Chains A and B, each alone.
Chain A
Amino acid sequence: MVRASLRGIWEHKVRTLLLAVAVVAGVSFVSASFVFTDTIGDAFAGAFADAAAGLDATVTIDPDAVEEDFAFGQQRIAASIGDVIAAVDGVDQVFVDLTTFVQIVDPDDEAAPATFGGPPNFVFAWNDAPGFFELTSGRAPAGPGEIVVDADSAADRGWSIGDAVEYSSLGPVESATIVGVADVEGGNPFGGAVFLFATLDETQRIADAADQVDSFSVTFEAGVDAEATIDAIAAGLPEGVRALDAQSAAEEAAADLEEGLSFITIFLLIFAAVAVAVGTFVVYNAFRTVIGQRTRELALFRLLGATRRQVLTSVLVEAGVIGVLASIIGIPGGVALAQLLRLALSAFGGELPAGDITLTPRTILVSATVGVFTTLLSALIPAIRASRVLPMAALTDIHPRRVPALRRWLITGILLAVGVGLAFWALATDRALWIVGAGALLIMAGTYSLGAAVATVAMRAAGRMIDTVGKPLRGARTTITRQMAIENARRAPRRTGATAGALMIGVALVTAVAIIVFSIQTTARDALEQAFPADAVVFPGFGPVQALAEGVGDVVEDLPEVQAASTLKSAPARINGQTDFLVGVQPEEIPLFAVLDVVEGSFDDLEGATVAVQKSEADRVDLALGDPVEIFVTGEPVDHEIVAIFELGSDVSDSASFYIDYDQYAVLDPSLPDVQMSVIFADGISVEEGKAAVETALQDFGTVQVFTQEDLLGQIETALLGVLVLIFGLLGMSILIALVGVVLILSLSVFERTREIGLVRAIGMVRRQVRAMVRWEAFLVALLGAGLGVLAGLVLGWFGSWAVFGPGFSFDVPWLPVIAGFIGAGLAGLVAAWWPAYRAANLNILEAIAYE
């Protein structure tokens, strides 16, 4: 029996390969997720371990202490701590670590300091710690204006000793001369980023961090008890600073970075799940069809004495072989996919360490398990059905089992109703998001089941529609091929429904994502138009340090092209025990930043320890005019009295709810810089003129970005487009699997109808008509899948937009792309039909009609 099934696999090479391909994508995604994570994790771990090699202890800020503190600039620790550490018995050397960010100004590139999120360039304080960069040529920086660059960047940018590097940070553009080139073992782990090294004093100046450092790297004298020495160091440290052995510190730092990237793993695993699900449906449908076709053969085996178990095993062996094959193709595919993702993320400016691809045994094991088990699982029900074939079926005609229409409709109805109800209830009552997800899953399952329920009706309806539209254009010759195609699709509604259903999944997700993204865009546009009273805003230009240089507000306000300009402060704070954004703004300049209506009280009273609260937030936590609000920024929490309650002109869910006086913010946290400036241009000045004037005026104030409304929209649209392209690329895989399913099922159907095709060929159907017949079927099945997908996508998109924006969300359907996608899916069906159509048109008539 097993030998028979192995021979079957060999005889149906194309089918086996197509089935394997359907599973490959899922396996690839799973292995890509792991390879990607492991590779990055290893690179980080390697980089940090290299840096920690030769060190004994690291003194850093205690991350547990940072969490309670929102104040700006507090991540650093006092430089004077170094003396305390050096005085501890057993400590040999103390090295100072300080890193900050700059924007490299490329004289060849006029628009150099232009984009958010470009790869950051680092400035390190030069030190001689083991594991740190080592000079490969030149000398270490010795004073202001001297700089060492990393070897990779020097090679990339063609820098050599004596060249000048221009960069800017919080102040005007500066220039430094390269005095040396340094390298680290294994090369710069952060591909793409430039590393500059300056003296500690210079680095502190650039970072605006006088007398402050990030951490200390410590080595011990030979033979001392490391643990005791670390304890001794810790005893002398101020609160919020801790000492850790260097190895643990490196592991912790690597783990932190890895955790930061874990969203990518989750993201990939979601797509893996989609691909696996679609692959499962395709394999299940194909096996079901094959078993149906082989009923007579299986019955013959039973008649000749094969046991049920043997029949079951023979089917599962075939599935297992396909699963193994899929794993063999899929795992290297996953490695390639991971590599591709790394390239894609680098292109988007993601800072990922370079390093060799890591393929662990676990990755191979998990991916192969996914490959083999999903295939076995998909084949299980058809295999059980195969084992139940009665020996007598070999001698009698086969009557396919049919699920009664009523029962199918009932199942479909229940799934859809419960799904929609669950999602609606969860969103309306603000439940956990996974309940919405469960509802969405039920909706998908219901739509899948709907496919089989409506297949017969939909095919006939589609036929009628095309008749009405196309009759004047086309003759009866195509009518008969289409009619036969429709009848073919209708005769096995479950098969047709399942084929369409696999396609439905991908199309539904693409549609839903497109709707959500489109809605975000519309909402953003509305929000900008309604709530953006300024002609332009100025943001800090780069890096994690978001700060505008002091005095930029005055410089801009004095410009003749500018009517008004003002800056604000904004940062997370702990407000009544919850973290929220706190905005500090001059009350009289609020109209520059936001369109809002005061409901109660007045902004005129916003002075000192007072606060204005957005109405929706006040309602939510039950606050009224005159109530105290406890605000904690740094130092001690301070009570602020509510003097105004306002409503925003537009409903932007993530806008700040708490406003305090600009000067009061400076009292709460003197170190917090301005983070945004709004500008209104003078009468008669065009947006372009005004923007140019502001940019020119700010040339010496570090890197800033000036955005007009259109610029901001452009930024949002570009970012969303990137997200959309990435998601579509990943979902495209599942649509491809579904199309492989179309190829499979059509091939099987053509095989099943060999005799019929032979007959119509004999009585005069030309090859072109036979091909047309198969293509029509593929086209209509693909349209059915796409149609169901669009329907489900609309529902999911609606719930998705609700989930993203909350109640009162805007629901915007990008109709043109959706309709284009619908037709595109039909055309993709035509492409999928190419091979089955070719086979059908070229089969040997005499063999096809030969009587057994």
Chain B
Amino acid sequence: MTITTGVAARAVDASKVYGEGETAVHALRDVSADFAIGEFTAIMGPSGSGKSTLMHCLAGLDTLTSGRVFLGETELGLLTDKQLTELRRDNIGFVFQAFNLIPTLTAYENIVLPITIAGRAPDQSWVDGVIDVLGIRDRLEHRPSEMSGGQQQRVAVARALASRPAVIFGDEPSGNLDSNASAELLGFLRRAVDEFGQTMVMVTHEPTAAAYSDRIVFLSDGRIVDEMREPTAERVLDRLKTLEA
């Protein structure tokens, strides 16, 4: 299968079933979706809609029951655990909802961790740029326990950006933050897409967060039920209401 250039990640007929027989839960049912390079996509949907599962499968953290997922031109299902791990290390960035950082390492050590794990030297001018954009230069020698939640999440974003990955996956990255810190963080993610051309895929259930994206994919019952471009919080909220109804 040839992959159209300009697609950073893609799911083709992706299905994920937990359990067997009568008790089987279909988390994903034949989901096909493209995530374009340089685009900020939000995945939304009610609890149990399969949005997290889709993200985990796209990011190589989980495997499909059937169907295929690609990162660039690499089909993830064909990789060994080691290859998959190295792919995540070199080509994917993560921002989780909480517990993003290793408590024993300083902020800077956390930022360059995937690069150090790979045994490479960081691209210092790039990393410095990221640090300055995120405004965490004065926190570099601090441990996570000495930073606020917002600062910790910014360090996590810096880590995700540091190795210039093909895609950054966010799993409710602002879910644990107050509204100010949340807006600030989402603003940084937006800037990363606009200024660095970073591809971003974010799972969220908050309309205000989703409004920062270029495009929203709505999931329900393991299926893509809708898409929305250039969303605003109000439109998202309306759409969600009809979705849950």
A762 to B95, CA, bound (A): 11
A761 CA / B102 CA spacing, docked (Å): 12
In the complex, whether B32 has a CB less than 8 A from a CB of chain A is no
B81, B99, B104, B113: the one contacting A849 at CB < 8 Å is B99
Question: Known contacts A762-B61, A764-B89: does B102 contact A756 (CB below 8 Å)?
Answer: yes
A488-B104, A849-B99 given as contacts; is B119 within 8 A of A763 (CB)?
Answer: no
Q: Given A766-B86, A767-B82, A846-B62, does the pair A760, B104 have CB atoms closer than 8 Å?
A: no
- Chain B residues whose C-beta falls within 8 Å of the C-beta of A479 in the assembled complex: 116
- Select from chain B the residue with minimum beta-carbon distance to A478: B119
Query: Scoring B residues 106 to 142 as 1 if CB is less than 8 Å from chain A, else 0, what string do you get?
Result: 0000000110111111000000000000000000000
Taking a contact as CB atoms under 8 Å apart, the answer to whether B119 and A760 are in contact is: no
CA gap between A487 and B102 in the complex, in Å: 10
Q: How far does the Cβ of B243 sit from chain A's closest Cβ, in whole Å?
A: 23
The answer to whether A849 touches B96, judged by C-beta atoms less than 8 angstroms apart, is: yes
Complexed CA–CA distance, A488 and B119 (Å): 20
Q: Indicate if B233 sits at the interface (CB-CB under 8 A).
A: no
B7 at the interface (CB under 8 A from A): no
Looking across the interface, which residue of chain B has its beta carbon closest to that of A487?
B104
Q: Is A402 an interface residue (CB 8 A)?
A: no
Residues of A within 8 A of B12 (CB): none
Query: Given A480-B113, A766-B82, A846–B118 Cβ distance below 8 Å?
Result: no
Q: Does B56 contact A (CB under 8 A)?
A: yes
B131 CB → nearest A CB, Å: 18
List residues of chain A with CB within 8 A of the CB of B66. Answer: none
Contact partners of B94 in chain A: CB under 8 A: 762-763
- A528: interface (CB < 8 Å): no
**Do A764 and B119 touch across chains, with their CB atoms under 8 A apart?**
no
Question: Which A464-497 residues have a C-beta within 8 angstroms of B?
Answer: 475-477, 479-480, 484, 487-488, 490-491
Q: Name the interface residues of A796-852: CB closer than 8 Å to any CB of B.
A: 845-846, 849, 851
Whether the pair A767, B81 counts as a contact (CB closer than 8 A) is yes
* CB <8 Å contact, A851 and B120: no
B88 close to chain A: CB less than 8 A: yes
Q: Which residues of A in the span 673-698 have a Cβ within 8 Å of any Cβ on B?
A: none
A201 to B164, CA, bound (A): 104
**Complex contact B97–A851 (CB within 8 A):** yes
A763 and B86 within 8 A (CB):
no
Question: Do A845 and B104 form a contact, CB below 8 Å, given A480-B116, A762-B88, A764-B90?
Answer: no
Say whether A748 faces chain B, with CB atoms less than 8 Å apart. Answer: no
- Chain A residues with CB under 8 Å of B100's CB are 759
B223 is an interface residue with CB less than 8 A from chain A: no
B159 within 8 A of A: yes
Residue B179 is within 8 A (CB to CB) of chain A in the complex: no
Residues of A within 8 A of B56 (CB): 846
Residues of B within 8 A of A169 (CB): none
Contact partner of A765 (CB less than 8 A), chosen from B97, B117, B159, is: B117
Instruction: Check if A769 is an interface residue, CB within 8 A of chain B.
Output: yes
Are B99 and A477 neighbours in the complex by a CB distance under 8 Å? no
Number of A-B contacts (CB under 8 A): 73
Quick check: A764 and B85 within 8 Å, CB to CB? yes
Contacts of A851 in B (CB 8 A): 96-99
Q: What is the distance, in angstroms, from B149's C-beta to the closest C-beta of chain A?
A: 13
**B62 to chain A: which residues have CB within 8 Å?**
846
The B211-237 residues at the A interface (CB cut-off 8 A) are none
Residues on A with C-beta less than 8 A from B116 are: 476, 479-480
Residue of A nearest to B91 (CB): A764
Nearest CB of A to B82, in Å: 5
Alpha-carbon distance A764/B86, docked complex (angstroms): 6
Contact B85 A767 (CB under 8 A): yes
Whole-angstrom distance between the alpha carbons of A480 and B102 in the complex? 12
For B89, list chain A residues within 8 Å (CB). Answer: 763-765
Taking the closest CB of chain B, its distance from the CB of A761, in whole angstroms, is 7
- Residues of B close to A475: CB separation below 8 A: 119
B130 to chain A, nearest CB (A): 16
A852's nearest neighbour on chain B, judged by CB, is B98
Name the distance in Å between B127's Cβ and chain A's nearest Cβ: 15
Q: Is B187 part of the contact surface with A, judged by Cβ < 8 Å?
A: no
Residues of B contacting A849 in the complex (Cβ-Cβ under 8 angstroms): 96, 99
Q: How far is the CB of B196 from chain A (nearest CB, A)?
A: 19
* B residues 20-67 in Cβ contact with A at 8 Å: 56, 61-62
At the interface, yes or no: A385 with Cβ under 8 Å from chain B? no
A475 and B102 CA atoms in complex are apart in Å by 21
Q: Which residue of A lies closest to B101 (CB)?
A: A759
Give CA–CA (A491, B104) in the complex, Å: 8
Rounded to whole angstroms, the CA-CA distance of A383 and B120 in the bound complex is 47
A755 within 8 A of B: yes
Does B103 sit at the interface, judged by CB under 8 A? yes
B85, A761: Cβ atoms closer than 8 Å: yes
Do residues B117 and A769 form an inter-chain contact, with CB atoms below 8 A? yes
Q: Counting CB contacts under 8 A, is B17 at the interface?
A: no
Chain A hits for B119, CB < 8 A: 475-477, 480
Q: Are A756 and B103 in contact (CB under 8 A)?
A: yes
Q: Which residues of B contact A756 (CB under 8 A)?
A: 99, 102-103
- Knowing A763-B159, A765-B85, the reply to whether A484 touches B114 (Cβ < 8 A) is no
Chain A window 514-531, contacts with chain B (Cβ cutoff 8 Å), 1 for yes, 0 for no:
000000000000000000
Asked if B99 contacts A764 (CB within 8 A), the reply is: no
Query: Known interface pairs A759-B100, A846-B61. Does A476 touch B81 (Cβ–Cβ under 8 Å)?
Result: no
Q: A292-346: which residues lie under 8 A (CB-CB) from chain B? A: none
Q: Once the chains are docked, how many angstroms separate the CA of A490 from the CA of B81?
A: 31
Taking a contact as CB atoms closer than 8 A, the residue among A487, A764, A767 that contacts B114 in the complex is A764
Chain A residues within 8 Å of B102, by CB: 484, 756, 759-760
Q: A764, B104: Cβ atoms under 8 Å?
A: no
Contacts of A765 in B (CB 8 A): 85, 89, 117
Chain A: which residue is nearest B176 at the CB level? A851
Give the nearest-CB partner of B82 in chain A: A766
A487 and B104 CA atoms in complex are apart in Å by: 6
Q: Mark A37-51, 1 if CB is under 8 A from B, else 0.
A: 000000000000000
- Provide a sorted-by-A list of 7 A–B residue pairs whose CB atoms are within 8 angstroms: A476-B120, A479-B116, A484-B102, A490-B104, A491-B103, A849-B96, A851-B99
Top 3 nearest A-B pairs (CB, nearest first) are A764-B89, A477-B119, A487-B104
Residues in chain A within 8 A of chain B (CB atoms): 475-477, 479-480, 484, 487-488, 490-491, 755-756, 759-767, 769, 845-846, 849, 851
Contacts A490-B104, A759-B99 known; 16 new A-B pairs at CB < 8 A: A476-B120, A476-B121, A479-B116, A759-B96, A759-B100, A760-B113, A763-B88, A763-B114, A763-B159, A764-B117, A765-B85, A767-B81, A767-B85, A846-B56, A846-B61, A846-B62
